[in-house]
C-alpha cells in the first residue's frame, strides 16, 4: 500500500545529461524532478565507488574522536577506502573510536557482540545474524551484502556494533522505497547500492546502534557520522535504518535524518490470569466470534503439537518448509528465505524457537514458527495448505495468547501487516524507519512526501485505536501511545489535535 501511494504522488520529468570534459572526471547528471508537487534539480554523480562494493577491501577504517561541532564539519569529510580520518585531536585513547566495516559477522567475537547488544532480543543476537549468513539468505545474490560496523576505542576494545548491509535492491525490507528509487534513477541518479542498518527479513523493532553500556558518551553520534562518511566517500545515494527503537529514532533525528512511520499490531499481557480472563476483557461480539472460531477448528478434528527448535527432526523442517512455500506460491508472493535458513535457525536459537503444527490425521496442514525472547513472543512464519478455515487464527493468535498468559510473557509482536489481528486483541503500535540522502534536493523532496504521509499514518493509527476490541481501553505499554516526536508531527500537519 505504501509503495502504491508513493508512485501515485511522484511524477518525474525526463532527465538531461551533461558530460564533463574529461573521461576521468565524473559525469554530472541533472534532471528536473516533480516530487509530490515540488519541482527541484537533482545533481548526482553518475558512478559509485566499486572497490568497497566488491569484496575488497574488507575494511574501511574511520577514526572518530569526540563529537561533530557542526554540520559543516560533517560535510567536509574526505578520504579514500582504508584511510583513517581524524575529526578532532584528543590524547585520551579511550575516547578515540576507530570505526571499521567488516564483511562477515563471523569475524566479530561473539562475547564482544553480545556485550554491545546488551539485550535479550533474539534478532540482534550473533547467532541469528550468523544463521542468515551461513544459510545463504544474506548474500550479494539476494541483495544483502554484509558490512557490519564495529567501533573500537584506542585500546582495541569493542564499544559499538551495528548490523549494516549494502543493498542492491529494496526486497525484504518491509519498508517500500521503490518509488523513491524509481524517481531518483529517472532523475539521472544511481539509487543502488544503498546502505541499510537493520535486521534482514525481520520487521521487529529494536536497537540498531548497539553501544556497549559505559561506552564514551559520543559513541552513538560517532557511529552515525561514520555511516554518513562512508556513504559520501563511496558515493552511495542513501542510508536507511529499519525498525529502530525510539531512543535510536531520537538519536538519528537529532542528526538530521528523516523519520517515517508505519503500523503493526501487538498483543499486551496486562495481567491476565487465563485465556478466559482475556476473553472477558473483550466486547461481547468479539468474544463470541473467537469462541465460534475455536469451536470450528476443534470440531474439524485437527490436532496440534508444538516442538522446540532442538526437537525438530529433518522431516519436521521439511514439512514446515513445504507448508510455508505452498502458502507463498498460492499467494504469488515469492519469498527469499532458503530451506537451509530454517534448519540453521533451529540450531542457532534452539531454546528460543517453537513451531506449532496443525495435523489432520498424520498429515501436517499448518505450521506457525514463533521466536521467544526479551519476555516477548514474535510471530514470524506461517504456512498451510488451502481451505483451512480459522486455522491461522487458532495457531498464530489464540494458542500463542494462551502460552503467553500461562508462561508470563509480556507481549506478542504480530509482525508485518494484518489488520485482522485487531479483531483478536492485537492493538496498533507505531513503528519507524529513518532515512538519510546524500543530496539535499532529494532529501527535501522526500521530506515533503513524508510530511504528508506521516499525517495519513497517524490519522489511520487513531482510527484503528478507536476500533479497539476491548470493552474499555486496557492499560497498555507506552509503545501503544504516540511518541513525543509523532505528536509534534501531528501538530505540524494539523491532522490530529491530541493522541492518547
DSSP string, 166-187: EESS-TTSSS--HHHHHHHHHT
Output 88 or 57, whichever has higher pLDDT: 88
pLDDT for res 62: 52
Question: Does residue 248 lie within any of the structural domains?
Answer: yes
At 13, the pLDDT band (50, 70, 90 cuts) reads: very low
Total domains, the chain: 3
List CB contacts of 308: < 8 A, sequence separation 6 or more: 350, 351, 353, 354
Residues 145 and 163 in one domain: yes
φ, ψ (nearest 5 deg) of residue 315: -70, -30
Share of the chain above pLDDT 90, in %: 69
Distance CA 260, CA 301 (A): 45
Report how far apart, in Å, the C-alpha atoms of 69 and of each of 95, 105, 108 are: 16, 32, 31
pLDDT for res 187: 87
Q: What CATH number did the domain enclosing 226 receive?
A: 3.40.630.30
390-423 residue pLDDT tens: 999 999 999 999 999 999 999 999 987 788 999 9
**DSSP codes joined into one string, 129-150:** HHHHHHTTSSSGGGTEEE-EEE
C-alpha cell at 454: 506521516
Asked if residues 380 and 418 have their Cβ atoms less than 8 Å apart, the reply is no
- The residue with cell 547500492 is 193
Q: Taking the mean position of all CA atoms in its chain, how far away is CA 294?
A: 33
Residues 281 and 231 in one domain: no
Among 257, 284, 310, the domain-final residue is 257
Residues 274 and 238 in one domain: no
89-100 residue pLDDT tens: 443 455 789 999
Length of the chain: 500
Distance CA 280, CA 264 (A): 24
Question: Does residue 18 lie within any of the structural domains?
Answer: yes
State mean pLDDT over 105-112: 97
pLDDT for res 53: 55
**Taking 80 as the threshold, does the pLDDT of residue 473 lie above it?**
no
Beta-bridge partner residues of 65: 96
pLDDT for res 94: 52
pLDDT for res 40: 36
At 33, the pLDDT band (50, 70, 90 cuts) reads: very low
**Taking 80 as the threshold, does the pLDDT of residue 192 lie above it?**
yes
Residues 163 and 129 in one domain: yes
Among 354, 387, 409, the domain-final residue is 409
List CB contacts of 284: < 8 A, sequence separation 6 or more: none
Question: Does residue 275 lie within any of the structural domains?
Answer: yes
Question: Does residue 487 lie within any of the structural domains?
Answer: no
Output 195 or 415, whichever has higher pLDDT: 195
Residues 286 and 355 in one domain: yes
- The residue with cell 554491545 is 116
Question: Does residue 327 lie within any of the structural domains?
Answer: yes
pLDDT for res 396: 95
State mean pLDDT over 172-181: 92
At 159, the pLDDT band (50, 70, 90 cuts) reads: very high
302-322 residue pLDDT tens: 999 999 999 999 999 999 999
Asked if residues 260 and 434 have their Cβ atoms less than 8 Å apart, the reply is yes
Output 92 or 327, whichever has higher pLDDT: 327
φ, ψ (nearest 5 deg) of residue 247: -60, -40
Q: What is the pTM of this model?
A: 0.82
**Taking 50 as the threshold, does the pLDDT of residue 76 lie above it?**
no
Asked if residues 163 and 124 have their Cβ atoms less than 8 Å apart, the reply is yes
Residues 131 and 168 in one domain: yes
**Taking 50 as the threshold, does the pLDDT of residue 379 lie above it?**
yes
Would you report the helix, strand and coil content of the chain in percent, each value rounded to 5? 40, 25, 35
Residues 304 and 277 in one domain: yes
**SS3 of residue 124 by DSSP:** helix
Range of the domain at 20: 2-45
Question: Does residue 168 lie within any of the structural domains?
Answer: yes
Distance CA 315, CA 354 (A): 16
Distance CA 479, CA 337 (A): 29
Closest CA to 147 of 69, 60, 207, 71: 60
State mean pLDDT over 179-187: 90
Residues 83 and 232 in one domain: yes
237-258 residue pLDDT tens: 999 999 999 999 999 999 999 9
pLDDT for res 340: 94
At 196, the pLDDT band (50, 70, 90 cuts) reads: very high
Question: Does residue 218 lie within any of the structural domains?
Answer: yes
C-alpha cell at 42: 537533482
**SS3 of residue 471 by DSSP:** coil
Question: Does residue 24 lie within any of the structural domains?
Answer: yes
Residue-averaged pLDDT of the chain: 81
Output 18 or 238, whichever has higher pLDDT: 238
C-alpha cell at 71: 554540520
Q: Considering only 46-60, 126-140, 215-229, which range has the smallest mean pLDDT?
A: 46-60
Residues 321 and 341 in one domain: yes
Output 206 or 83, whichever has higher pLDDT: 206
**Taking 60 as the threshold, does the pLDDT of residue 227 lie above it?**
yes
Residues 213 and 352 in one domain: no
On the 0-12 / 13-18 / 19+ scale of CB atoms within 10 A, 262 is: buried
**SS3 of residue 446 by DSSP:** helix
pLDDT for res 386: 82
pLDDT for res 388: 83
C-alpha cell at 433: 524507519
Closest CA to 34 of 445, 484, 431: 445
At 281, the pLDDT band (50, 70, 90 cuts) reads: very high
- Count the helices and strands in the chain (H runs, E runs): 16, 20
Asked if residues 391 and 297 have their Cβ atoms less than 8 Å apart, the reply is yes
427-461 residue pLDDT tens: 999 999 999 999 999 999 999 999 999 999 999 99
Output 218 or 74, whichever has higher pLDDT: 218
**Taking 90 as the threshold, does the pLDDT of residue 64 lie above it?**
no
Residues 300 and 185 in one domain: no
List CB contacts of 44: < 8 A, sequence separation 6 or more: 28, 29, 184, 187, 188, 189, 190, 237, 439
Residues 142 and 240 in one domain: yes
φ, ψ (nearest 5 deg) of residue 52: -90, -30
For residue 353, count other CB atoms closer than 10 A to its CB.
24
Among 379, 409, 439, the domain-final residue is 409
φ, ψ (nearest 5 deg) of residue 191: -75, -40
At 335, the pLDDT band (50, 70, 90 cuts) reads: confident
Distance CA 463, CA 460 (A): 5
**Taking 60 as the threshold, does the pLDDT of residue 201 lie above it?**
yes
List CB contacts of 315: < 8 A, sequence separation 6 or more: none
Amino acid at each position: 500500500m505504501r509503495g502504491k501511494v508513493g508512485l501515485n504522488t511522484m511524477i518525474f520529468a525526463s532527465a538531461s545529461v551533461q558530460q564533463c570534459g574529461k573521461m576521468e572526471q565524473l559525469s554530472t547528471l541533472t534532471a528536473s524532478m516533480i516530487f509530490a508537487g515540488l519541482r527541484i534539480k537533482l545533481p548526482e554523480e553518475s558512478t559509485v565507488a566499486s572497490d568497497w562494493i566488491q569484496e575488497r577491501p574488507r575494511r574501511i577504517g574511520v577514526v572518530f574522536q569526540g563529537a561533530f561541532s557542526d554540520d559543516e564539519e560533517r560535510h567536509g569529510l574526505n578520504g579514500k577506502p582504508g584511510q583513517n580520518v581524524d575529526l578532532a585531536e584528543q590524547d585520551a585513547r579511550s575516547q578515540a573510536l576507530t570505526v571499521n566495516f567488516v564483511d562477515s559477522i563471523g569475524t566479530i567475537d561473539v562475547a564482544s557482540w553480545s556485550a554491545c547488544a546488551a539485550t535479550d532480543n533474539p534478532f540482534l543476537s550473533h547467532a541469528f545474524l550468523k544463521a542468515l549468513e551461513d544459510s545463504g539468505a544474506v548474500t550479494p545474490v539476494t541483495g544483502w551484502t554484509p558490512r557490519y560496523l564495529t567501533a573500537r576505542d584506542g585500546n582495541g576494545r569493542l564499544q559499538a556494533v551495528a548490523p549494516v548491509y549494502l543493498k542492491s535492491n529494496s526486497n525484504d525490507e518491509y519498508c517500500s522505497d521503490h518509488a523513491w528509487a524509481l524517481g531518483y534513477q529517472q532523475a539521472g541518479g544511481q539509487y543502488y547500492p544503498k546502505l541499510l542498518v537493520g535486521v534482514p527479513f525481520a520487521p521487529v523493532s529494536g536497537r540498531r546502534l548497539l553501544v556497549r553500556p559505559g561506552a564514551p558518551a559520543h559513541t552513538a553520534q560517532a557511529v552515525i557520522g561514520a555511516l554518513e562518511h562512508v556513504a559520501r566517500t563511496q558515493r552511495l545515494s542513501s542510508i536507511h535504518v529499519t525498525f529502530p527503537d525510539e531512543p535510536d529514532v531520537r538519536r538519528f533525528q537529532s542528526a538530521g535524518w528523516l523519520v517515517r512511520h508505519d503500523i503493526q499490531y501487538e498483543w499486551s499481557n496486562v495481567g491476565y490470569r487465563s485465556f478466559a480472563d482475556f476473553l472477558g476483557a473483550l466486547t461481547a461480539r468479539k468474544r463470541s466470534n473467537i469462541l465460534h472460531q475455536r469451536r470450528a477448528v476443534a470440531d474439524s478434528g485437527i490436532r496440534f503439537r508444538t516442538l522446540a527448535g532442538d526437537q525438530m527432526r529433518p522431516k519436521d523442517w521439511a514439512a514446515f518448509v513445504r507448508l510455508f512455500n505452498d502458502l507463498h506460491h498460492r499467494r504469488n508472493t515469492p519469498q527469499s528465505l532458503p530451506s537451509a535458513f530454517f534448519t540453521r535457525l533451529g540450531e542457532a536459537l534452539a531454546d528460543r524457537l517453537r513451531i506449532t503444527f496443525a495435523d489432520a490425521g498424520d498429515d501436517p496442514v499448518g505450521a506457525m514458527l514463533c521466536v521467544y525472547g526479551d519476555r516477548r513472543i514474535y510471530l514470524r512464519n506461517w504456512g498451510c495448505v488451502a481451505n483451512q478455515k480459522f486455522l491461522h487464527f487458532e495457531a498464530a493468535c489464540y494458542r500463542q495468547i494462551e502460552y503467553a498468559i500461562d508462561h508470563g510473557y509480556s507481549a506478542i509482536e504480530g509482525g508485518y501487516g494484518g489488520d485482522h489481528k485487531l479483531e483478536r486483541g492485537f492493538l496498533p503500535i507505531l513503528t519507524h524507519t529513518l532515512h538519510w540522502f546524500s543530496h539535499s534536493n532529494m532529501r527535501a523532496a522526500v521530506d515533503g512526501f513524508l510530511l504528508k504521509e506521516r499525517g495519513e499514518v497517524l490519522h489511520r493509527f487513531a482510527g484503528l485505536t478507536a476500533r479497539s476490541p476491548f470493552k474499555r481501553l486496557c492499560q497498555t505499554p507506552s509503545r501503544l501511545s504516540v511518541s513525543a516526536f509523532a505528536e509534534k508531527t501531528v501538530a505540524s500537519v494539523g491532522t490530529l489535535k491530541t493522541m492518547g
